[in-house]
Amino acid sequence: MTYRNYFVYMQIENNRTQTMMVKKFIDEESGKVIEEKVMNAITIDCVIFGFDEGKLEVLLIEHAEGISKGKWGLPGGWIKEDESIDEAANRLLRELTGISNLYLEQLKAFGDPKRFPLGRVITIGYYALIKKEDYDVKAGFTASDAKWYKMDDVKHLIYDHNEILNYSLKHLRNRVRQAPIGFNLLPEKFTLLQLMQLYQEILNVELDKPNFRRKILKMKLLADLKEKEQNVSHRAAKLYKFDPDIYKKLTEKGFNFEM
Amino acid sequence: MTYRNYFVYMQIENNRTQTMMVKKFIDEESGKVIEEKVMNAITIDCVIFGFDEGKLEVLLIEHAEGISKGKWGLPGGWIKEDESIDEAANRLLRELTGISNLYLEQLKAFGDPKRFPLGRVITIGYYALIKKEDYDVKAGFTASDAKWYKMDDVKHLIYDHNEILNYSLKHLRNRVRQAPIGFNLLPEKFTLLQLMQLYQEILNVELDKPNFRRKILKMKLLADLKEKEQNVSHRAAKLYKFDPDIYKKLTEKGFNFEM
DNA sequence: TAGTATTGTAGTCAAATTAACTATAAGTTA
DNA sequence: TAACTTATAGTTAATTTGACTACAATACTA
């Protein structure tokens, strides 16, 4: 079969113009016009990690419309024509969660031809680490619900979103040992124990308190706030915050956080 | 301005159907049909690293056609509709260099709206490390020439290919410290000095021979071939090869190659 | 054939780092 | 005040690192 021309017709749903394309082409041999649905689009899906009560969590949304209505998946959306993909990821997160200026990094593109049932859609995965205290989850846009799930409670998600989630968890486990990005999951002020528990949870290891303490303090990555925890039912721990200048220096020369 | 319908017409060049799209739409207010060129396509660009005479090299091609005719850039191409992006990257490399089964990894997607002059094209960067001995460079497909460039000799490349190249070099520098991927650049059999020089070149550091030796041998990553170099004008060094089983174990538990 | 140059390989040693501990201080709750 | 929880300081042996020295093996060259 040889083609001469393609005519592609785009259906419009809710102003998201890239939702569906119908490809029409002429089969030169038979002369017939053949019409088929096709997708040749790029989306973004975000894995948003949070941390609460010593457990790693991920933000999922319930779709309000379309073929995945009522099912849970990663928040995501379409890339607009005039924005870069990083901008798109930031915009989508702003729309979906109301926060900007967070730690956001591209994971990779997922492009199995069958990953999306209606046609070919390549998605670019991003992952973000957020301080849960900073914002309220609210379902917006095309989501009917949005909720934090502990990693263990995540069940079947739409499309290949389980795969994307697993990949990003693996990626996070690696990254967290090479850059001090874990801080992005904690509140502004935190104790050393909280930080240690974060590493224990993400890396799935047991750590020794005195040794962890020594190691992390030697890096000089933490600024002592000269404050203590309030309203705790035990000896109050010192509060620290994370020093972005030192962080910058450390990441530039590359460093190792082996625990 | 509101849209009702889009009609997208795809021009076909050389059987690469995603080359150009002309978008026609009706402006509801004026009733006029507006036509504009648009690209909404995804490509792959590969950074192929080699290593020769102690220097890191990259494979570039000269474009034989299209708007970048006569200019140099990274080898790349379009993703076919029925292949995954990893498959596409492997296929493109096979077409362009004749080799398969090499170390190939996705970098990330580059999506500046202006990166490609004719419209919106998002490209997914891949990087590969190859043993130069394994193959002959031959320009194929849409390339009029293909050549190895030492990293220092790379000048201005088309589109954002300099950016992609810089990014992948930075990425390689990081990866090489976290996984023993450097081996992919060396011949099947190599000496410890060759390996050390590879690290020196990539990481841009000076290393101490005895210490390097001790460190790398302790990892048990190398299999002693009980062979020696031939035809060298000095004491012949032992040849080693890289043990894929141990490599697998090491990468799974994550490891650190800090030098 | 002796000397020189080059690269490979082994070993030394002090300093730094790590892992596994113990001990104690500072709070809270009952 | 006693019991309990968590924070923090310190000890120690084992391991790893970095900066070396020394010497072995080989080839070239005078």
Check which CATH number belongs to the domain holding B75 and give it. Answer: 3.90.79.10
Query: Does residue A22 sit in the same domain as residue A110?
Result: no
- B136, B155, B178 - which closes a domain: B178
Could you give the percent of chain B with pLDDT greater than 90?
Answer: 34
* Residue A257 belongs to a domain: no
Is the minimum CB–CB distance between B108 and chain A shorter than 8 Å?
yes
- A181 near A199, Cβ under 8 Å? no
* Residue B258 belongs to a domain: no
Query: Does residue A152 sit in the same domain as residue A67?
Result: yes
- A162, A178, A194 - which closes a domain: A178
Give the separation between CA B146 and CA B138, rounded to whole angstroms. Answer: 6
Query: Does residue A58 sit in the same domain as residue A123?
Result: yes
Cβ pair B113:A81 closer than 8 A = yes
Q: Which of residues A191 and B133 earns the better pLDDT score? A: A191
Chain B residue nearest residue A82, CA to CA: B113
Give the separation between CA B153 and CA A252, rounded to whole angstroms. Answer: 25
* Å separating the CA of residue A217 from the C1' of nucleotide D1: 36
Residue A21 has what pLDDT?
42
- Order across the sheet with B33-38: list the strands: A33-38, A16-27, A3-13, B3-13, B16-27, B33-38
Q: How confident is the model at residue B26 (pLDDT cuts 50, 70, 90)?
A: low
- A98 near A150, Cβ under 8 Å? no
Cβ pair A7:B7 closer than 8 A = yes
Q: Which of residues A168 and B82 earns the better pLDDT score? A: A168
* Residue A135 belongs to a domain: yes
Q: How confident is the model at residue B48 (pLDDT cuts 50, 70, 90)?
A: very high
* Residue A258 belongs to a domain: no
Tell me which residues of chain A, numbers 27 to 46, contact chain B at a CB-CB cutoff of 8 Å: 38, 40-42
Interface test with A, best of B44, B81, B255, B258 (most A CBs within 10 A): B81
* Residue A236 belongs to a domain: yes
Cβ pair B122:A85 closer than 8 A = yes
* Å separating the CA of residue A199 from the C1' of nucleotide C29: 30
* Å separating the CA of residue B234 from the C1' of nucleotide D25: 8
* Å separating the CA of residue A63 from the C1' of nucleotide C27: 48
Query: Does residue A80 sit in the same domain as residue A173?
Result: yes
- B123, B143, B178 - which closes a domain: B178
Report protein residues in contact with nucleic acid strand C, where contact means CB under 7 Å. A 208-211, 214-215, 232-236, 258-259; B 191-193, 209-211, 213, 234-238
- Average the pLDDT over A200-222 and give the result: 90
d(CA A20, nearest CA chain B) in Å? 11
- A140 near A96, Cβ under 8 Å? yes
Q: How confident is the model at residue A13 (pLDDT cuts 50, 70, 90)?
A: very low
- A158 near A64, Cβ under 8 Å? no
Which of B82, B113, B254 lies closest to A177 in CB terms?
Answer: B254
pLDDT-wise least confident of A12-26, A27-41, B114-128: A12-26
- Has residue A108 got a pLDDT over 90? yes
* Å separating the CA of residue B244 from the C1' of nucleotide C15: 35
Chain B residue nearest residue A38, CA to CA: B81
Which of B17, B122, B124 lies closest to A6 in CB terms?
Answer: B17
- Average the pLDDT over A165-180 and give the result: 90
pLDDT-wise least confident of A11-15, A222-226, B132-136: A11-15
Residue A54 has what pLDDT?
82
Query: Does residue A174 sit in the same domain as residue A185?
Result: no
Residue B94 has what pLDDT?
83
pLDDT, chain A, mean: 79
Interface test with B, best of A124, A164, A173, A204 (most B CBs within 10 A): A124
Q: Which of residues B121 and B257 earns the better pLDDT score? A: B121
* Å separating the CA of residue B215 from the C1' of nucleotide D16: 10
* Residue B259 belongs to a domain: no
Nearest-nucleotide field for B228 (CA, C1'): C8
Query: Does residue A46 sit in the same domain as residue A165?
Result: yes
Query: Does residue A233 sit in the same domain as residue A136?
Result: no
Give the separation between CA B66 and CA B142, rounded to whole angstroms. Answer: 9
In which element (H, E) is residue B87 found? Answer: helix B85-97
**Domains identified in chain B, total number:** 3
Cβ pair B79:A8 closer than 8 A = no
Nearest-nucleotide field for A230 (CA, C1'): C27
Check which CATH number belongs to the domain holding B222 and give it. Answer: 1.10.10.10
Q: Which nucleotides of strand C lie within 7 A of protein CB?
A: 5-12, 18-23, 25-29
Is the minimum CB–CB distance between B144 and chain A shorter than 8 Å?
no
Residue A40 has what pLDDT?
57
Is the minimum CB–CB distance between B152 and chain A shorter than 8 Å?
no
Residue A194 belongs to domain spanning: 181-252
Query: Does residue B84 sit in the same domain as residue B118?
Result: yes
* Max avg pLDDT among A47-56, A162-171, B31-40, B97-106: A162-171
- Has residue B24 got a pLDDT over 90? no
Query: Does residue B101 sit in the same domain as residue B216?
Result: no
Is the minimum CB–CB distance between B81 and chain A shorter than 8 Å?
yes
- B50 near B112, Cβ under 8 Å? no
* Residue A259 belongs to a domain: no
Query: Does residue A186 sit in the same domain as residue A227?
Result: yes
Query: Does residue B197 sit in the same domain as residue B113?
Result: no
Is the minimum CB–CB distance between A12 and chain B shorter than 8 Å?
yes
* Residue B257 belongs to a domain: no
Q: What is the pTM of this model?
A: 0.83
Measured between beta carbons, which residues in chain A are less than 8 angstroms from residue B5?
9-10, 12
- Has residue A78 got a pLDDT over 60? yes
d(CA B177, nearest CA chain A) in Å? 10
Query: Does residue B93 sit in the same domain as residue B128?
Result: yes
Q: Which of residues A101 and B239 earns the better pLDDT score? A: B239
